[in-house]
Structure 1
Amino acid sequence: MSPTVPDLIPTADAATLPKTMTAAVLYGQEDVRIEQVEVPRAKPGELIVRVSAALTCGTDLKVFRRGYHAKMIRPPALFGHELAGIVAEVGEGVSEFAIGDRVVPINSAPCGDCYFCERHQENLCEDLIFNNGAYAEYMRITPRIVEKNTLLAPSDLPLEFAALTEPLACALHGLQDSHPRHGDTVAVIGGGPLGLMLIHAAALYGCRVIAVVKYDAQVRVARALGAEHVVQILSSMSSNDVTRAVRELTPAARGVDIAIEAVARPETWEQAVDMVRNGGVVNFFGGPETGTHVQFDTNRLHYGDLTLKATFHHTPAICREAFHLIASGKVQADQFITGHAPLADLKSAFARLLDRGNDGNHIKTAILPNGAHPLGKAVR
């Protein structure tokens, strides 16, 4: 099992908060700087959380590479969104949380009143607010997230594991949107963090999982997370070869019941359609860049009676389901955290993730802004 982050000593009095802190600030494309900034103070309805662990993720990596995110962040801005920590200050009017509580603040919260929220599609909320700033010693949690999407972590749950709640919620949403039945055969294309979470979630739901991955390390982890079969993409294989290999693992080579694409490339979107059986479901979970186009055989879609679906983000209810799966121990959380690093090494951690293609060994790095030692000793 990976080493776990110890609980940090909770702040006894909000007045003892320091005036400045170390934080990662995004200025633009591959321009993240570790700086000293003011420690936020809690306004009415808010929490200030001392960050125990902030996890790297594919979304943050895309933001780092592109220098912005249209919905989530515009530079210059504090950066990072997967975290867990200890409440250090409680704003006026907050009664559900107290200083010293171990919490998981999710990165967004819906309004609850718009057209989409009233139809239980909170992920599409017209006023969905996002929070960033996890790569820092302290983080402000806004009132709506405090009210709707901040979870109390039990004392026996390592906080770096609790920080996996948000990405796992995205994976659960994608799986649930595909309406799996116990015993269904599900192909997941992609061995990145979310692809591996989709593999694990499908296995936990009682599905037969075929993982389609590229690197040796991803083969090992996919099997450990419940994949019954693994198709490893080799440089000599064409797209048709990959599709054929998946189909041959199904009865009469008819194809899988559900194909979930988690790579975000046009060719893998098309591949997912080719490997699903007639009457099956395709979920385009990976989101390609704006302006990307794909081509499908309309005859295949129509006469194959296929359901094409895409899934975005998560909802508060799904976040709670993901959190309970992690807290129960059903999720192999230690498989997803493959490294620990201080905040000063954030850019190096991103560089390792960008170079993941060389070995596939890096999944998520737990960034430890407050100096926790990866062997479980607090660093003062």
Structure 2
Amino acid sequence: MNHHSVPDSTNNGLHPSPGTDMMKAALFYQPNDVRYEDTPIPILSPGELLIKVESALTCGTDVKCYRRGHPLLLKHFPSPFGHEFSGVVVKVSPVAGQAPRFQVGDRVVAANSAPCYQCFYCAKGQTNLCDHLDLLNGAYAEYIKIPAQIAQYNTYTLPEHLPFQIAAFSEPLAVCLHGLAQSNVQPGDQVAVMGLGPIGQLMVRAAKLKGARVTAIARTVHKLALAQSFGGADQVVNLSDVNDNEAIRQKFTEDGRGFDIVIEAIGKPETWEKAVGLVRKGGTVNLFGGCPGGSQVSFDTRRLHYDEIKLVSSFHHTPTQFKAALDLLSKGDIDPRPLITDTLPMAQFEAALQQVEAGQAIKIALSNENNLQALS
């Protein structure tokens, strides 16, 4: 059996024969050392699924992981890599006495986490902060194992018309929906989005769907143009042309008062600080972009206090938001294809990450389309 095959039905596929049931996968050994190599196809436990990955997307978080590791996502080495994907169910490991939710051949998208619904935070409805959040990596591979918790609570069947590449955007779009919820974006709000990578672009589009008037802020001309053509931004600010906070407020906000909501989608201390300088009195700043660990920022306490500035932050997403993201994509309310710069074979994941890091691509879709025998 070659590495394109899936385990046979012997023993329900839970114990593939040593040395035969192999696949290609990206494995993270240490920063700057991620190898695409042969590794055993995962063994399933009850409740788990085996998915043939049809499409996986690059992500800024994956670029950061590639360069410096990650304390939450990469814990055991070598570690599977990648987390935005969709594919086809090729194995189901049932739980005794329970009818399986999925069948072999189902087209699905799985989130990269699922809450336990048992802990303090889940009881509070803050499922993205679950003490037992089951974070999933391994999308840059021929197959990925979906843990039982995710298979049960945060995996969804795709409508037939929805391409795999588009379905894979469910995760990053869900993150944006959580950010907008944390920011309490309402129709008519003047919302500024700082940073126009794929998340910033999706944030602009999703904020427009909520009825906001959106200003896109960045330094790169083609990203600003994309925020208008894809996201529908009402106006753009090129920080290479105007960078002073007061000048931006005067030119781009009514009466120069500042924006109702500023969403920082970059993740640098200096832009966190700049975001506070652009918001109006009584406004909200969402510190959405994650800075490197140990970063420090400085805010004018007088401004925060007397101007009643609300500082919020956003981490991850909830199953409700993941399903909502999939619904937006399925209905065509958001068509993310303009964000896909290129499609490459899965084996070229490292080159894809480097292109994204260098600013040569917004998002690259990685494909396993040569793996045609997977369902045989």
TM-score by length of 2: 0.91
- TM-superposed CA distance for 1:85, in Å, is 0.1
- 1:173 and 1:216 map into 2 onto residues whose CA distance is 27
Aligned to 1:156: 161
Aligned to 2:361: 362
- 1:213 and 1:257 map into 2 onto residues whose CA distance is 18
Q: Is the 8 A contact 2:6 2:21 kept in 1?
A: no
- 1:312 and 1:200 map into 2 onto residues whose CA distance is 19
- 2:119 and 2:268 map into 1 onto residues whose CA distance is 32
- TM-superposed CA distance for 1:118, in Å, is 0.3
SS in 2 for 1:344: helix
Identity over aligned residues, as a percent? 42
- TM-superposed CA distance for 1:246, in Å, is 4.3
Aligned to 2:120: 115
- TM-superposed CA distance for 1:133, in Å, is 0.7
Measured at CA, do residues 11 and 99 of structure 1 come closer, stay the same or move farther in structure 2, by a change above 3 Å? farther
- TM-superposed CA distance for 1:332, in Å, is 2.0
What is the number of residues matched between the two proteins? 359
Aligned to 1:345: 348
2:93 alignment partner AA: G
Aligned pair partner of 2:225 in 213, 220, 224: 220
Aligned pair partner of 1:32 in 34, 39, 46: 34
SS in 2 for 1:169: helix
Q: Deviations over 1:222-252 (max 9, x none)?
A: 0011100010121x654x2x55224422210
TM-score by length of 1: 0.90
Q: How large is the RMSD of aligned CA atoms in angstroms?
A: 2.2
1:71 alignment partner AA: L
Q: Which residues in structure 2 correspond to 1:297-316 (within 5 Å)? A: 297-316=300-319
SS in 2 for 1:203: helix
Q: Is the 8 A contact 1:194 1:262 kept in 2?
A: yes
- TM-superposed CA distance for 1:42, in Å, is 2.6
- 2:94 and 2:277 map into 1 onto residues whose CA distance is 56
Q: Deviations over 1:255-278 (max 9, x none)?
A: 111000011111111111111111
Farther off after superposition, 110-119 or 363-372 = 363-372
SS in 1 for 2:252: coil
- TM-superposed CA distance for 1:11, in Å, is 7.8
SS in 2 for 1:274: helix
SS in 2 for 1:218: helix
1:371 alignment partner AA: N
- 1:246 and 1:260 map into 2 onto residues whose CA distance is 15
Aligned to 1:318: 321
Q: Which residues in structure 2 correspond to 1:125-136 (within 5 Å)? A: 125-136=130-141
Aligned to 2:274: 271
- TM-superposed CA distance for 1:170, in Å, is 0.5
SS in 2 for 1:139: strand
Aligned to 1:42: 44
Aligned to 1:173: 178
Aligned pair partner of 1:65 in 64, 67, 86: 67
- 1:269 and 1:130 map into 2 onto residues whose CA distance is 27
SS in 2 for 1:51: strand
Q: Is the 8 A contact 1:41 1:89 kept in 2?
A: no
Farther off after superposition, 308-317 or 68-77 = 68-77
- TM-superposed CA distance for 1:346, in Å, is 1.1
Q: Is the 8 A contact 2:22 2:40 kept in 1?
A: yes
Q: Is the 8 A contact 2:248 2:278 kept in 1?
A: no
Aligned pair partner of 1:124 in 129, 154, 159: 129
- TM-superposed CA distance for 1:301, in Å, is 0.9
2:103 alignment partner AA: A
Aligned to 1:52: 54
Aligned to 1:99: 104
User: Which segments of 5 or more consecutive residues in structure 1 lack a partner in the other structure?
Assistant: 1-9
Q: Is the 8 A contact 1:11 1:99 kept in 2?
A: no
- 1:370 and 1:279 map into 2 onto residues whose CA distance is 51
1:170 alignment partner AA: V
Q: Deviations over 1:68-102 (max 9, x none)?
A: 21111123111111100000000022511000000
